[in-house]
Amino acid sequence: MSRIKNVVPKEDYRLEVQLDNGSCVTLNLESRLHTVRFGMLSDKQFFKTATTDGICIRWGNKIEISVNEVFQLAQK
């Protein structure tokens, strides 16, 4: 399974996710900002705090997206 090498918050609630296999995935989370799970990300400053531990993308201890979920969201 691939690991997340780096995550870069972009404009318009997009995340550039760089994987350890050299691939890069862009996730557009804008359409999910009105959900209970991702609503806090509508704060642009909070959105920009995204980090990774290689397994998940995290915003503090409040929201996380696993590497498996990255692939699922990218397909939608």
CATH superfamily of the 4-75 domain: NE0471-like N-terminal domain (3.30.2020.10)
Domain boundaries, the chain: 4-75
In 3-state terms, what secondary structure has residue 70?
Answer: helix
Residues 2-39: pLDDT tens digits? 899 999 999 999 999 999 999 999 999 999 999 999 99
Computed over its alpha carbons, how large is the radius of gyration of the chain? 11
- 69 backbone dihedrals φ, ψ, rounded to 5°: -70, -30
Q: Does the global pTM surpass 0.85?
A: yes
**Chain-wide mean pLDDT for the chain?**
95
pLDDT the model gives residue 75: 83
- Do the beta carbons of residue 24 and residue 16 sit within 8 Å? yes
